[in-house]
Amino acid sequence: MASKLKPGVQTGTDYIALVDACKAGGYALPAVNVVNTDSINAVLEAAAKAKSDIIIQLSGGGAQFYAGKGIKDAEKAKVLGGISAAEHVHRVAEAYGICAVLHTDHANRALIPWVDALIDAGEERFKATGRALFSSHMLDLSEESLEDNISECERILKRLAPIGMSLEIELGVTGGEEDGVGKDLDEIDNDKLYTQPDEVLTAYRRLSPLGHFSVAAAFGNVHGVYKPGNVKLRPEILKASQEAVSSAEGTGNHPLHFVFHGGSGSEKAKIKEAVSYGVFKMNIDTDTQFAFAERVGSYVEEHARAFKYQIDPETDKPYKKQYDPRAWLRKGEEGIIDRLIIACDDLGSTGRSLAL
Ligand SMILES: [Zn+2]
């Protein structure tokens, strides 16, 4: 039985305990991309309803949107939005009674200054409160050489470890793009779509002495949702990497902490299999985006006149209650919540929250 944790944002040894509990318990947590307080609160509410712990994450574009499209300096907005969103979660997560993890998503070379600036803010917060801003950041240098990828990961992990933070790295390329980072499937060499066990071993040897890290491994997963048959998931790639590291390094079973990118639209059996090979985090964005949009769309269709007139010109009926943003934003939130309750079931995290 895993030990219990105080509800709210988890960092340092508490975050590591959460990752270990997932792997030992054979389940994984949804990691959901958010862009504003609506999506953050919906994710937290879903976790509370499912009694599951949860991962909240922001891409560079999501963080920029959080701060506002009106800020002219986009780089500055990414930093301010990232800090602001994380502080919002620190403020409210505990009240939902579950454990929350704060993460950033895909930072390629161009986004590394963003990550460094968030680490600066994390160091400041750690000094003041003993808790960093985020639980973990992600670097995605999978399109560069292995050496360039790993050496930059080393530099960042050396900054993260002293403030109780983890690093997610990417080896092999996840197809499709996530918020402007990545390439279409037909532009990627086929062998890059599947992570090579020897690359994972190199990463393990160089990063594990420095701190805690996780690996976004490519096993045919793709961002976005495509027609069935276009994506061939091969979770056995994850098993081969775990075995390569455990036999070469003499570690116990499943030394690697794997992240499943492009979880939207994946077959349930393949999700289960991937989790059984040490996946503790599955990213989901496309499906929650659609769940939000679909519910708002239905609401607008149903109340079409309220989105045209403040007072109906024929009946004199005032529509204030229908166009109040709380009415239709809530429908979108409910869409996210319902989709995530399914995700928690698929990943086996329902009812497994470690929160006291
Ligand atoms: Zn991704």
Rounded CA Rg of the chain: 21
State residue 191's pLDDT score. Answer: 64
Neighbours of ion ligand 1 (CB under 5 A): 178, 261
Say how many Å lie between the CA of residue 208 and the centre of ligand 1.
22
The Å distance, Cα 192 to ligand 1 centre, comes to 15
Three-state SS annotation for 200-220: HHHHHHHHCCCCCEEEEECEC
pLDDT of residue 226: 72
DSSP 98: S
pLDDT at residue 90, as a whole number: 98
- Interval 116-139: pLDDT, tens: 999 999 999 999 999 999 999 999
Nearest to 349 by CA among 7, 98, 166, 6: 98
Q: Is 316 considered catalytic here?
A: no
With a threshold of 0.85, does the pTM exceed it?
Answer: yes
What's the angle, vertex CA 56, arms to CA 275 and CA 129, rounded to 5?
A: 120
pLDDT above 90 covers what percent of the chain? 83
Tokens of 239: 């098993």
Distance 120 CA to ligand 1 centre (A): 24
Structure confidence at residue 356 (pLDDT): 86
List pLDDT tens digits, range 84-107.
999 999 999 999 999 999 999 999
Can you tell me the mean pLDDT for 311-334?
Answer: 97
Among 216, 190, 205, 107, residue whose Cα is nearest residue 152: 107
Average pLDDT over the chain, rounded to an integer = 93
Distance CA 148, CA 85 (A): 30
pLDDT at 207 over 70: yes
What does the pLDDT read at residue 266?
81
- pLDDT grade, residue 195 (50/70/90)? confident
Percentage with pLDDT > 70 across the chain:
94
Residue 225: pLDDT band (50, 70, 90) is confident
Q: For residue 333, report the distance from its CA to the centre of ligand 1, in Å.
A: 22
Instruction: Give mean pLDDT, residues 253-258.
Output: 96
- Which of the following is catalytic: 105, 140, 179, 346? 105
**pLDDT value, residue 345:** 97
Domains in the chain (CATH in brackets) are 8-297+341-347 (3.20.20.70)
In tens, the pLDDT along 150-189 reads 999 999 999 999 999 999 999 987 777 777 777 665 666 6
Two structure tokens written together for 173:
């390329």
Cα 138 to middle of ligand 1, angstroms:
10
CA 302 to ligand 1 center in whole angstroms: 35
- In angstroms, what is the span from residue 142 Cα to ligand 1's centroid? 11
CA of 261 to the centre of ligand 1 (A): 4
Cβ atoms of 259 and 279 within 8 Å: the answer is: yes
- Give the pLDDT of residue 224: 76
What digits encode the pLDDT tens for the residues 25-71? 999 999 999 999 999 999 999 999 999 999 999 999 999 999 999 99
> How many other C-beta atoms lie within 10 A of the C-beta of residue 13?
11
pLDDT for 232 equals: 78
The answer to whether residues 133 and 183 touch, using CB atoms and an 8 Å cutoff, is no
